[in-house]
Chains A and B, each alone.
Chain A
């Protein structure tokens, strides 16, 4: 009947904030992606070329972010790192989101033994510290970004699958799913055409967070020497490289740090905005 909660639902004044967040997030990530695709256009120098005469120079007009211990231009390295880190963000999460969504959809839809087994896998994965698992797998496969993608892929899909399975179960309680079955639609049609588009929301929101977390994971692995291969610039590696120069050449760590935080902010803002946009409308 007239079950409209009159108290608060209509009375949240913040509903206009996401627009600002959305724009800010899109601008940050848009520029990041642009930089990632065309670092050569933005970077003033070759990120790899040494300049023995300009080792550890502080920020200047020629080198706005200073130079590193090889005399490489930090600005250019931070810029080229966008290519790798954005790649980390996307590639690390690509398989998990695709495979996880698929498994989650099937498990959520069919339930039964498979769901039981899946439940145990979820338990095992969330019970075991994720980064240790990834480190172990990367150690098996050998360091490098490609192997990091594989390592994360092997366990990361579980989180997506868990999310989507839960959301599928919520959606399946809604009548439109039942309507599809009463209309004699096949399972594939009901899953793909009806349930998934409605269940995918939380996954997209999580995806944004996960991309930011992936950059952090890539950085942590870079710090441990298991991530991006030198001499390629990656923010975590840049920070790790600059670690010994924290007191003498602060610019080596600050700028990559700012880039990580800024990109994280972009994903976070976009995630919030997506969550807001996907909030069910009535």
Chain B
């Protein structure tokens, strides 16, 4: 499949691409001296963390960076230099020869135009088809990308499509004129894993059928491993390592690539502590002639801090921009030297229950119109929680995973009473917390704290860190006023922030640092239990590992119980003692981590695990893990909530809702199919 470079001239040849965009602080070099080739039919993965310049590189190819950006260098596309091409001629290439798919289908599709029109305008621009033919072709395209009942969806608007369907529609638009090259900018980042799985497979299928080349921008190394032929790793606007995926992932020669690979949690194999890269990526505006990675690099020498390395071959079809490409092969990795990686969690010995949750129900009524009320239309309800049961033991970390809309965040919020449940019981340390009021409630609030997902939204931007922490200490009388400054310093130290961070405002910190401040705020009231809702999902991988490791460390140090809510199964695996899988407001399986990942029993768990891209898997199989999309929580299906998407569903599944039952040991799941005894289940992957 992959073309051998050098035999035929490359389809696309980028040389010394420089893109400067204007900012408040003057021009910023977002892409710096980037060069790469793309062979016909090849999939190139462009990876890097946020701000590394991968998206700007991609957009520079079609000159889609907003003016007054400056693009320099050469981009040779089938013999023509796109950088110098007049706008009119470039327009004939855009969409016709090179098409693009963007990250967020909701914002990339024009919300006020029908999907049909947005497909047809591409055809109108590049083909001689008549209106009738364009419409037929549009239906055909929707059909190709797997949108059911394509003809009827043509006149729908983007908001009437689900996320996955929107992404399919965007792909349909992109491939409308049979382009030779597809530029895919994080096309699956906004999607759930099962949908991501479907989309990735769609792109692979299309590549096969249409003979397209693809440049795939992503931050997810797992996605690269499973879909790409070659990879280029970007850091601070430059490509720092490139080569075939197999070579680079097996033996990275740049410390950054190595660090990145080490900080990514895996779905399989032995649970190892996550490794992190210290520090954060540099802002692009503060660049000088050094190696941009030097400040974070364990192998950096003075030479690195003075001279900028260029990309040079370290092996056949493998190049790295590092002064010491041999260091990784000779020295043991010391990427996380600052903080020794915490031990992988083991099951705590004492398991007295801290939280006991039973039959929790929460529905969000949909606002009814005046007319509907007048006509006595029944109230429609979004069923967010349909009675999950579970226990969180003292000192235990329980991971709650599930895709968006499964109710996991609602569950977390009910536990701290940000949301009041409609029915069911929540006992904390034996007390029913749903009826607590006044001082008792404040006491409970002190003992159970929550840490939040959004590093930007979770801190009040108008308060300094000192005010944020001081307020928590003051309100709960944690310390006498005189002792508060010391305590703030201690808290900052606990989350590994310098003392002088206290007098700065949140915007002065990076995302990871903000999450630490959020943790410090929660710890200020000395809680026994932390509820972390998607704590690191907004962070870059290298930083993710830092925060996760910090959390594990604190848990060990302070004996905290943790409820870790996340959609990232790989991450949950690395943190949790036990994992609960949620689907449509219910827990469908709950089991000790090792057991769950080794042998998932519920068909949904199995599907979920098989959909997760993993660095250890070299090539994605074309079998789709799970069909269809999440049913509407407004009208959950009768019987087993998963049955409409379950390949093995039997008649009973459609009628009867399976209960979460213990099937040997610590393992519970809710499925009619599985035999009652804990037998050997099918492995998650064929």
Direct contact of A and B (CB under 8 A): yes
A residues at B contact (CB < 8 Å):
1-8, 10-13, 15-16, 174-176, 178-185, 189, 193-194, 197-198, 280-282
Which residues of chain B from 448 to 465 have any CB-CB distance to chain A below 8 Å in the complex?
Answer: 448-450, 452-454, 456-463
- Inside 8 A of A282's CB, which chain B residues have their CB? 456, 507
Asked whether A178 lies within 8 Å of B450 as measured between CB atoms, the reply is: yes
- Inside 8 A of B540's CB, which chain A residues have their CB? 2
> What's the dominant secondary structure at chain A's contact region?
loop
**B22 to nearest A CB, angstroms?**
5
**Residue in A13, A176, A181, A194 whose beta carbon sits within 8 Å of that of B22 in the complex:** A13
Chain B: CB-nearest residue to A9: B66
**Residue in B186, B507, B525 whose beta carbon sits within 8 Å of that of A183 in the complex:** B525
Interface-located stretch among B150-158, B172-180, B471-479, B640-648: B471-479
Given A1-B189, A6-B56, A184-B441, also A11-B23 (CB < 8 A): yes
20 residue pairs A–B, Cβ–Cβ below 8 Å: A1-B220, A1-B537, A3-B189, A4-B50, A7-B59, A11-B69, A12-B22, A15-B24, A16-B24, A175-B452, A175-B454, A176-B459, A176-B460, A182-B416, A182-B445, A182-B450, A183-B445, A183-B521, A198-B462, A280-B461
Asked whether A6 lies within 8 Å of B452 as measured between CB atoms, the reply is: no
Inter-chain residue pair count (beta carbon < 8 A): 112
Given A176-B458, A198-B461, also A7-B64 (CB < 8 A): yes
B226 adjacent to chain A (CB < 8 Å): no
Given A183-B449, A183-B521, A184-B446, also A2-B459 (CB < 8 A): no
Asked whether A197 lies within 8 Å of B456 as measured between CB atoms, the reply is: no
Chain A: CB-nearest residue to B413: A178
Separation of A59 and B67 alpha carbons in the complex (Å): 50
Asked whether B445 lies within 8 Å of A184 as measured between CB atoms, the reply is: yes
**Residue in A3, A179, A198 whose beta carbon sits within 8 Å of that of B103 in the complex:** A3
- Inside 8 A of B190's CB, which chain A residues have their CB? 3
Give B223-260 as 1s and 0s: 1 = Cβ < 8 Å from A's Cβ atoms: 00000000000000000000000000000000000000
Chain B: CB-nearest residue to A2: B50
- Inside 8 A of B442's CB, which chain A residues have their CB? 184
Separation of A10 and B537 alpha carbons in the complex (Å): 23
Chain A: CB-nearest residue to B540: A2
Asked whether A2 lies within 8 Å of B186 as measured between CB atoms, the reply is: yes
Given A15-B24, A183-B525, also A175-B453 (CB < 8 A): yes
Asked whether B189 lies within 8 Å of A176 as measured between CB atoms, the reply is: no
The size class of the interface chain B forms with chain A is 35 or more
B residues at A contact (CB < 8 Å):
21-24, 28, 30, 49-51, 55-56, 59, 64-69, 103-104, 107, 186, 189-190, 219-220, 413, 416, 418, 441-442, 445-446, 448-450, 452-454, 456-463, 471-472, 475-476, 507, 518, 521, 525, 537-538, 540
Separation of A174 and B460 alpha carbons in the complex (Å): 9
**A40 to nearest B CB, angstroms?**
40
Separation of A185 and B460 alpha carbons in the complex (Å): 14
13 more CB-based (< 8 A) A-B contacts, given A175-B457, A179-B458: A2-B189, A3-B50, A4-B51, A4-B55, A6-B59, A182-B449, A184-B441, A184-B476, A193-B463, A197-B462, A198-B460, A198-B462, A282-B507
Asked whether A179 lies within 8 Å of B186 as measured between CB atoms, the reply is: no
Chain B: CB-nearest residue to A200: B462
Separation of A86 and B11 alpha carbons in the complex (Å): 68
**B60 to nearest A CB, angstroms?**
10
User: Which 10 A-B pairs rank lowest in CB-CB distance, beginning with the nearest?
Assistant: A184-B445, A2-B50, A175-B452, A175-B458, A174-B457, A184-B442, A6-B55, A15-B24, A197-B462, A8-B66
Asked whether B461 lies within 8 Å of A281 as measured between CB atoms, the reply is: yes
Asked whether A7 lies within 8 Å of B66 as measured between CB atoms, the reply is: yes
**Residue in A179, A194, A198 whose beta carbon sits within 8 Å of that of B452 in the complex:** A179
**Residue in B107, B416, B475 whose beta carbon sits within 8 Å of that of A185 in the complex:** B475
Chain B: CB-nearest residue to A173: B457
Asked whether A11 lies within 8 Å of B458 as measured between CB atoms, the reply is: no
- Inside 8 A of A193's CB, which chain B residues have their CB? 463, 471
**Residue in B219, B416, B456, B458 whose beta carbon sits within 8 Å of that of A1 in the complex:** B219
Chain A: CB-nearest residue to B444: A184
Asked whether B460 lies within 8 Å of A11 as measured between CB atoms, the reply is: no
**B499 to nearest A CB, angstroms?**
22
**B138 to nearest A CB, angstroms?**
26
**A277 to nearest B CB, angstroms?**
13
Separation of A3 and B471 alpha carbons in the complex (Å): 31
- Inside 8 A of B68's CB, which chain A residues have their CB? 11, 13
**B540 to nearest A CB, angstroms?**
6
Chain A: CB-nearest residue to B68: A13
Chain B: CB-nearest residue to A183: B472
**A10 to nearest B CB, angstroms?**
5
**A14 to nearest B CB, angstroms?**
9
Separation of A180 and B474 alpha carbons in the complex (Å): 13
- Inside 8 A of B55's CB, which chain A residues have their CB? 4, 6
- Inside 8 A of A174's CB, which chain B residues have their CB? 454, 457-458
Separation of A133 and B488 alpha carbons in the complex (Å): 54
**B542 to nearest A CB, angstroms?**
12
**Residue in A7, A15, A16, A194 whose beta carbon sits within 8 Å of that of B460 in the complex:** A194
Asked whether A6 lies within 8 Å of B30 as measured between CB atoms, the reply is: yes
- Inside 8 A of B103's CB, which chain A residues have their CB? 3
**A178 to nearest B CB, angstroms?**
5
Separation of A2 and B24 alpha carbons in the complex (Å): 22
Separation of A13 and B23 alpha carbons in the complex (Å): 6
- Inside 8 A of B24's CB, which chain A residues have their CB? 15-16
- Inside 8 A of A180's CB, which chain B residues have their CB? 460
**A81 to nearest B CB, angstroms?**
38
Asked whether A281 lies within 8 Å of B507 as measured between CB atoms, the reply is: yes
Asked whether A178 lies within 8 Å of B23 as measured between CB atoms, the reply is: no
Chain A: CB-nearest residue to B51: A4
- Inside 8 A of A4's CB, which chain B residues have their CB? 50-51, 55
Separation of A79 and B607 alpha carbons in the complex (Å): 78
Chain A: CB-nearest residue to B52: A2
**A215 to nearest B CB, angstroms?**
31
Chain B: CB-nearest residue to A184: B445
- Inside 8 A of A8's CB, which chain B residues have their CB? 66
Chain B: CB-nearest residue to A181: B418
- Inside 8 A of B69's CB, which chain A residues have their CB? 11
- Inside 8 A of B448's CB, which chain A residues have their CB? 182
Separation of A182 and B521 alpha carbons in the complex (Å): 11
Asked whether B459 lies within 8 Å of A3 as measured between CB atoms, the reply is: no
- Inside 8 A of B22's CB, which chain A residues have their CB? 11-13
Chain A: CB-nearest residue to B190: A3
